[in-house]
Amino acid sequence: MPMDYNDKQENKQIEKNYRFLQSLKYAINGGKIAFVEERNFRYHCLIGLLAVIVSIYFRISIGEWLWITFAIFQVLMMEMLNTIAENLVDMYTLRNYHPLGKKVKDMGATVVLISSLFAMVVAAYIFIPKVWPIIQKILN
């Protein structure tokens, strides 16, 4: 949901963060907002958690862990960037339709789709060789 211009103005910081812990607090808050307000972000977190559980079960190699971790975080980052773009468009257009706003939102969704497809390719490359013998055993 986009920021309302009429939000309470108390505790609104407008200057730069000078302390690391303050910056970290705001970063964590941004993650909480994305998790609470964005259904797709929660969905991607759940799929990422499932990938971690399956990776632990199959005891994947360190190199495979690097690929899985990269794929998970890439999808989450792209989803977050898409959400940022959507919120900026909504704020700028006051939630009214604008053809350029539609372009931005569609391209943001495409970025998430491409990163999700990449993650699926990584998962297939790592997990199909591990799952295939189990499937063959069940079918025979």
Cα–Cα distance measured from residue 54 to residue 137, given in angstroms and rounded to the nearest whole number = 19
Residue stretches of the annotated binding site for ATP: 26, 38, 86, 105-106
Percentage of the chain exceeding pLDDT 70: 92
pTM: 0.85
Residue of 76, 72, 75, 68 lying closest to 30 (CA atoms): 76
Report residue 79 as tokens.
């989803």
Conformation bin of residue 94: beta by default, left when phi > 0, alpha when psi is -120 to 50:
left
Question: What is the rounded average pLDDT for all residues in the chain?
Answer: 93
Cβ 105 vs Cβ 89: under 8 Å: yes
Residue stretches of the annotated binding site for a divalent metal cation: 38, 86
For the stretch 109-132, pLDDT in tens is 999 999 999 999 999 999 999 999
Higher pLDDT pick, 114 / 8: 114
Catalytic site residues? 79
Whose structure tokens read 């257009």? Answer: 93
Per domain, the residue ranges of the chain are: 20-139
Topology of the domain comprising 20-139: Helix Hairpins (1.10.287)
Task: pLDDT band for 3, please (50, 70, 90 cuts).
Answer: low
Task: pLDDT band for 14, please (50, 70, 90 cuts).
Answer: confident
